[in-house]
Structure 1
Amino acid sequence: MSDSSQDPLRSVHTTSFPQLLDQIGASLLVTTYQAGKLVVLRHDAGILNTHFRNLNKPMGLAREGGRLAVGCSVDIWEFHNVPAVCKKLDASDDYQSTEAKHDVCYLPRRSHCTGDVQIHEMAWADDKLVFVNTAFSCLAVRSDENSFEPTWRPGFIQQLVPGDNCHLNGLAVCDSQVRYVTALGETDEPGGWRENKRNGGILIDVDSGEVITRGLSMPHSPRWYNGKLWLLESGEGTIGTVDLQTRKYESIAQFPGFTRGLCFYGPLAFVGLSQVRESAVFSDIPLVDRLKEVEERTCGVWVLNIETGETLGFCRFEEGVQEIFAVEVLPGIRFPDLVNQDTEIVGSSYVLGDNVLAEVPKDLRA
């Protein structure tokens, strides 16, 4: 077990956690809207390098190629990888590492103001950024002129109103299309999902509009992976699969926290856990009944072998972070960074098309 006790956002981790990242040649991005941070988890000389970037209530993450989108309080930020900047980071005292060299640097490229639509999960689907617009109970995309363009909503939602009626929250992409979504209730009343949050959760087929599974406890993070439909039954603190023939959810593992945020790499599942305090939102759910004391509930990222059900390691946040929303694995990227508030680096890094680079002096080209 290792720790970072000098950090005000203190975390501890099993020695296996950075070893696993090193073995698979990857890193992780984690959002915590409660702390206003994007967390970068990276292997560096045998330890876990836990790196924080400030954002305004970051929630959903979506990555495709060199593009990374982050859904925030009232806007969506899109960052692009600019590899040439990595040398600047390696040479700067502000971007220290023990041995690792930066291999990806995300710089801001586009911001779109949505207003407070309570953005939850996001994904690139058929080259469009689709996001869950929880306030308006719909899926939406960005617009050049408007706050958003709605693309789909559940059949039981009759009007486009900002009432968070069913708490639509998660989406799963299959064959480049959003195919499944999760919601915490099947209701068309403002905030109506709260009345039966203990077991009112549902899984919906987007194409048909049919509710596939009912009776779930606060489901989140549906994913289509290796020919199976996975999701997190957050109110139970579990991960499992839904059999599309029987329409039943079957858990394969249970954790000491509110499961939310899920990604896969090979046989590994990276699962986000939130501590969840007793509140109007989280009271009267099975997880709170099972773990009576707040101290028993954990916040962090757990690594699970989905073939054996064995926990292989974890990173647990001890202070400063109580809730996690998204977890995104970056395959083939060992030591990334996201630069959004360093005005010197952002201001002096120019990205130009190949057609005009020929007009730039050679000594200025990266």
Structure 2
Amino acid sequence: MSAPPATDGGTQVGYHHSEGLPEVLQEAGCSLLVSTYQAGQLVAVGVAEGRLSLSFRGFDRAMGIAVGDDQLVVGGKDQVWSLRDHSELAGALTPDGRHDRCWLPRATTVTGPIQCHEVVWGSAPGQPGQPGEPDLWLVNTLFSCLAGLDPRYSFVPRWRPPFITRLAAEDRCHLNGLAMRDGAPAFVTVMARSDEPRGWRQARNDSGAVLEVPSGEVVTSGLAMPHSPRWHDGTLYVLNSGLGVLERVDLASAQRDAVAAVPGYARGLAFHGDLAFVGLSKIRETAIFGGAPIAAYHDQLVCGVGVIELSTGNTVATLRFDNAVEEIFDVQVVPGARCPTFGNVEGGDGEVWLLPG
């Protein structure tokens, strides 16, 4: 059974998944959030009655996702959206009893054109022995810096790589990813250590690097368009996106070893126990990233999410979009959530209608 036909210009999207994906999510006790900036959608992926369930919500150029205890933040075009958890409403939504979480938009902050990429929750400094309040960090790609929000300004710069000599709306190094460690920024990814306007575009297939925060020192280099640095279980991971590889970084030697290769431009990474959830994108030949090494296999690339077992490097489950959705930006895990929704049109059995907005 599919979702009912759209009456206002919606787009029918087909998807399929490996047979074991619902079981993997059920056993892990989590659901997923996936942003599809090209299609302008935030997707909740859960399980209901043993079957995969997808819920969509439109956000113009949906990018980074930050999951908090009772709220969800989504970076979009020229603004950052805040959604509140209304789990008390979830069970009453049609079909009754399917959902256990429901996020609804409640506020937006206008940043202007900063090319916001990842958004990440950290902890503001607290009293000795007491945790700090939640603190939101933005990866401000256009201005090559990490930033915070303030009601009086578009953004407040907090840190930039030491080779960036001044704040300028010039996307000098394509700063795109942020890893937190103990509630504080610890690592970022850049396409190149360039201080020239859009200088990262000159040689991007081996110029990428992971930098330490706050020192700005290089942790590892020679990557092809890296994204999504993550600190998990005492280890630093990064997506070597242009090669389509999830890599583990040795902080002492700066060497990297491949955990797994994936059939897509790898962007968006989340962990839950021994599982890594990796976003996969197709590459359009006319796009800026069309020159990536993995573009040589463009006819074999897929869009969706791959689930990788860290201990073996095996892909244990997949979700793939068949049409309309071609590029994933972020993937986040929602622990303890079985089947989330945004309170709007959704679908199952491999088909759903995307409605504008």
Match of 1:249 among 243, 256, 259: 256
**RMSD, matched Cα:** 1.8
Structure 1 CA distance for aligned equivalents of residues 111 and 18 of structure 2: 39
The aligned runs of 1:90-129 (5 Å cut-off) are: 95-96=94-95, 101-126=98-123, 127-129=134-136
The aligned runs of 1:267-306 (5 Å cut-off) are: 267-289=274-296, 291=297, 294-306=298-310
Match of 1:18 among 22, 32, 48: 22
* Structure with the larger RCO, 1 or 2 (CA within 8 Å, 6+ apart): 2
Q: Shift of the alpha carbon at 1:180? A: 0.2
Structure 2 CA distance for aligned equivalents of residues 52 and 337 of structure 1: 8
Structure 2 CA distance for aligned equivalents of residues 225 and 58 of structure 1: 25
Q: Which residue identity does 2:98 align to in structure 1?
A: K
Match of 1:307 among 306, 311, 315: 311
The aligned runs of 1:1-366 (5 Å cut-off) are: 8-89=12-93, 95-96=94-95, 101-126=98-123, 127-289=134-296, 291=297, 294-339=298-343
Structure 1 CA distance for aligned equivalents of residues 271 and 122 of structure 2: 18
Q: Shift of the alpha carbon at 1:251? A: 1.2
Specify every segment of 5 or more residues in structure 2 that has no aligned partner in the other structure, as ranges. Answer: 6-10, 124-133, 346-357
Structure 1 CA distance for aligned equivalents of residues 326 and 208 of structure 2: 23
Specify every segment of 5 or more residues in structure 1 that has no aligned partner in the other structure, as ranges. Answer: 90-94, 342-366
Runs of 4 or more consecutive aligned structure 1 residues displaced over 6 Å after TM superposition: none
Structure 1 CA distance for aligned equivalents of residues 336 and 48 of structure 2: 15
Q: Which residue identity does 1:257 align to in structure 2?
A: G
- After superposition, the Cα gap between the structure-2 partners of 1:3 and 1:170, relative to the gap in structure 1 and judged at 3 Å, is farther
Q: Deviations over 1:220-274 (max 9, x none)?
A: 0000001100010000000011100101121111011000000011111010000
Structure 2 CA distance for aligned equivalents of residues 165 and 193 of structure 1: 6
Q: Deviations over 1:64-115 (max 9, x none)?
A: 21111000001111111122222431xxxxx437xx5321111223211001
Where 1:193 maps in the other structure, the secondary structure is helix
| Aligned residue-pair number | 329
CA contact (8 A) 2:55 2:340 kept: no
Q: Deviations over 1:130-167 (max 9, x none)?
A: 01000000000000200000000001111111111100
Structure 2 CA distance for aligned equivalents of residues 78 and 338 of structure 1: 13
Q: Shift of the alpha carbon at 1:340? A: 8.0
CA contact (8 A) 1:3 1:12 kept: no
1:345 corresponding residue in structure 2 = none
Normalising by the residue count of structure 1, what TM-score does the alignment of the two structures yield?
A: 0.86
Higher strand share: 2
CA contact (8 A) 2:211 2:217 kept: yes
Structure 2 CA distance for aligned equivalents of residues 280 and 73 of structure 1: 18
Structure 1 CA distance for aligned equivalents of residues 253 and 314 of structure 2: 26
- After superposition, the Cα gap between the structure-2 partners of 1:264 and 1:153, relative to the gap in structure 1 and judged at 3 Å, is same
Structure 2 CA distance for aligned equivalents of residues 121 and 168 of structure 1: 10
CA contact (8 A) 1:154 1:209 kept: yes
Structure 1 CA distance for aligned equivalents of residues 153 and 344 of structure 2: 25
1:346 corresponding residue in structure 2 = none
Where 2:295 maps in the other structure, the secondary structure is helix
Where 1:29 maps in the other structure, the secondary structure is strand
Identity of aligned residues (%): 42
Structure 1 CA distance for aligned equivalents of residues 98 and 323 of structure 2: 28
Structure 2 CA distance for aligned equivalents of residues 12 and 108 of structure 1: 28
1:92 corresponding residue in structure 2 = none
Question: Higher Cα Rg: structure 1 or 2?
Answer: 1
